[in-house]
Amino acid sequence: MNATTGFWYHFFDVPAVYNSVRSVLLFGKKKMYLEIQNAVALQEGESILDVGSGPGELSQLFSGDYVGMDYSENYVSYAEKKYLGKKFSQGNVLLLDIPEKSYDVVLLASFIHHFDDTEVQTILRNVAMVARKRVVILEPCPWKGNPVAWFLLNMDRGAHVREFTVQREFIEKYFIVEKESFFYSGLYKLSLFVGTPKS
């Protein structure tokens, strides 16, 4: 059950705070950045939609046609000012209003654990329609035997952290899983899936 409500929830809605705390808990973000970049494997001329882009930090990993989308106007405003030359927009992925096959790659990084099972299915269905080639999904996983990691996940604003196998079951409903793995970064265990939309 998610424990981050009220003051703490809004505290982490401050982009600078969010970035700083995540950097500390991940012991820096270099490993996570590298894993995401390698999984996305963006080629020259390809476009990418970063769903749940938050403060926009992942935009710096990609050159070319990048668009970040987030529900928080606060995060979008921050990202537009900090990452000049990158595109950001405010939007709701549950009510996605983007033409089909608009982007080569769709990225969801530490995003779907903020939604319940029904909402996740809606999100993945919408993303499958928008992605031309592939989707890349990064998610936290429960880290059994690590009480510090358990505490941090309990304080995460996302109340639906799922086991690796459960994540795969959701993803396989809408995508053919081409690659799957997990890795450790700081106090987090993270899963990584690369899939192609089912026709």
Give me the average pLDDT of each 10-residue run along the chain (199 residues). 43 52 57 94 96 95 94 94 95 93 97 95 97 97 73 66 96 98 88 95
Return the SS3 of 151. helix
* Token duo for residue 70: 């987030």
Residue 74 lies in a domain: yes
- Rounded to two decimals, the pTM is 0.85
Are 125 and 172 a contacting pair, CB within 8 Å? no
Residue 109 lies in a domain: yes
Residue 57 lies in a domain: yes
For residue 163, the Cα-to-chain-centroid distance in whole angstroms is: 16
The whole-number pLDDT of residue 148 equals 64
The whole-number pLDDT of residue 144 equals 79
Domains: count for the chain: 1
Pick from 90, 167, 171, 162: nearest CA to 128: 171
Residue 1 lies in a domain: no
| Helix or strand holding residue 185 (H, E) | strand 175-185
Domain that holds residue 111: 6-197
Residue 53 lies in a domain: yes
The whole-number pLDDT of residue 11 equals 47
What residues contact residue 163 under an 8 Å CB cut-off, 6+ apart? 141, 142
Identify the CATH number of the domain in which residue 77 sits.
Answer: 3.40.50.150
The whole-number pLDDT of residue 6 equals 45
CA distance 112 to 92: 13
The whole-number pLDDT of residue 143 equals 81
The whole-number pLDDT of residue 13 equals 59
Pick from 57, 8, 21, 15: nearest CA to 187: 21
